[in-house]
């Protein structure tokens, strides 16, 4: 079976500014890949490139058989404007089905059912009619995860989903993402700023720096770089 995504000798950046180069790794179905590294290492740029939102400066990204970019659920970092979005939880979650609608300007019964199922999986059904901007940070992240699940049952790409959450809420979010991976079989690609908290749940680690590490979580624990960052 081909990998879901294969990144081959990528150079990432913008204009003439290179953030990372000679980056190669693969993502298999069911993997939980945690991407770590210092600020400015190109982590978010990598995600945008994988999603087709930005072109690589060099190299290429190959999607495996049966994998299309519109089948990847994406949870970007939230801005203050997005946190204040004046829509109901149901409306926000349903918007994740837009890629399924094509040119149709409304959601059908199947898509509404997908949204209801995603809300149930994220345990936010009781919040369906609540205003998104009135929710806590942890509740908002659950809503956005449900939205991403509406877009894909194959792969979720999460850009620092615990950013701004207190430690208790962050731990709950890590457990929730791990459950999506293990129980639903959905591949996870997640940027985390806290490798110590994220690594217990990951199957693989990509550490971005001037050079990079890619391997299993256990290989990372045993590597010089892993021991340095986990000490």
Q: Quick one: 144 and 97 in the same domain?
A: yes
Instruction: Determine, yes or no, domain membership for 158.
Output: no
Query: What percentage of the chain exceeds 70 in pLDDT?
Result: 95
Instruction: Determine, yes or no, domain membership for 2.
Output: yes
Q: 90-100: per-residue pLDDT in tens?
A: 999 998 887 76
Instruction: Determine, yes or no, domain membership for 195.
Output: yes
Instruction: Determine, yes or no, domain membership for 175.
Output: yes
Q: Are 132 and 119 in contact (CB under 8 A)?
A: no
Q: 111-143: per-residue pLDDT in tens?
A: 889 999 999 999 999 999 999 989 998 899 899
Instruction: Determine, yes or no, domain membership for 170.
Output: yes
Residues 147, 158: Cα–Cα separation, whole Å: 12
Of 100, 130, 153, the residue that ends a domain is 153
Task: Give the pLDDT confidence score for residue 89 in this predicted structure.
Answer: 95
Q: Quick one: 142 and 181 in the same domain?
A: no
Two tokens at 72? 């990847």
Number of domains present in the structure of the chain:
2
Of 125, 153, 181, the residue that ends a domain is 153
Q: Are 23 and 9 in contact (CB under 8 A)?
A: yes
Q: What are phi and psi of 21, to 5 degrees?
A: -145, 160
Q: Quick one: 14 and 62 in the same domain?
A: yes
- Residue 55, domain CATH: 3.40.50.300
Most confident of 31-35, 135-139, 199-203: 31-35
Q: Quick one: 93 and 125 in the same domain?
A: yes
Sheet-wide strand order for 58-63: 17-27, 5-14, 58-63
Q: Are 132 and 87 in contact (CB under 8 A)?
A: yes
Q: Quick one: 84 and 144 in the same domain?
A: yes
Give the DSSP letter string of the chain: ---SEEEEEEEEEETTEEEEEEEEEEE-TT-EEEEEE-TTSSHHHHHHHHTTSS--SEEEEEEPTT--GGGEEEEPPPPHHHHT--SBHHHHHHGGGHHHHTT-SS--HHHHHHHHHHHHHTT-GGGTTSBGGGS-HHHHHHHHHHHHHHH-SSEEEEESTTTT--HHHHHHHHHHHHHHHHHH--EEEEE-S-HHHHTTT-SEEEEESSSEEEEEHHHHHHSHHHHHHH-
Residues 177, 160: Cα–Cα separation, whole Å: 12
Residue-averaged pLDDT of the chain:
88
Q: Are 73 and 151 in contact (CB under 8 A)?
A: yes
Residues 156, 151: Cα–Cα separation, whole Å: 9
Of 153, 183, 215, the residue that ends a domain is 153
Residues 214, 152: Cα–Cα separation, whole Å: 25
Residues 93, 112: Cα–Cα separation, whole Å: 9
Task: Give the pLDDT confidence score for residue 102 in this predicted structure.
Answer: 65
Q: What angle do CA 84, 86, 91 make, to 5 degrees?
A: 120
The pTM (predicted TM-score) of the whole model is 0.90
Q: Which domain holds residue 36?
A: 1-67+163-231
Q: Quick one: 227 and 167 in the same domain?
A: yes
Task: Give the pLDDT confidence score for residue 16 in this predicted structure.
Answer: 81
- Computed from CA positions of residues 110, 111, 117, 121, in that sequence, does the dihedral angle turn out positive or negative? positive
């Amino acid at each position: 079976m081909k990998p879901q995504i294969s990144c081959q000798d990528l150079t990432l950046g913008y204009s003439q500014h290179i953030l990372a180069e000679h980056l190669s790794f693969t993502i298999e179905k069911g993997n939980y890949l945690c991407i770590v590294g210092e600020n400015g290492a190109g982590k978010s740029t990598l995600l945008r490139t994988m999603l087709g939102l930005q072109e690589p400066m060099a190299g290429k990204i190959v999607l495996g058989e049966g994998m299309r970019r519109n089948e990847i659920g994406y949870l970007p970092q939230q801005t203050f404007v997005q946190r204040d979005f004046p829509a109901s939880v149901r409306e926000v979650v349903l918007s994740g089905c837009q890629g399924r609608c094509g040119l149709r300007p409304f959601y059908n019964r199947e898509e509404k059912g997908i949204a209801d199922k995603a809300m149930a999986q994220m345990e936010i059904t009781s919040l369906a009619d609540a205003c998104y901007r009135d929710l806590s940070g942890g509740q908002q992240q659950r809503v956005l995860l449900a939205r991403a699940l509406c877009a894909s049952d194959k792969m979720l790409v999460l850009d620092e989903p615990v950013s701004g959450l207190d430690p208790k809420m962050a731990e709950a979010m890590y457990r929730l993402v791990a459950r999506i991976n293990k129980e639903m079989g959905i591949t996870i690609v997640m940027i985390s700023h806290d490798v110590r908290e994220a690594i217990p749940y990951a199957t693989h680690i990509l550490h971005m720096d001037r050079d990079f590490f890619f391997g299993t979580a256990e290989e990372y624990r045993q590597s010089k770089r892993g021991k340095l960052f986990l000490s």
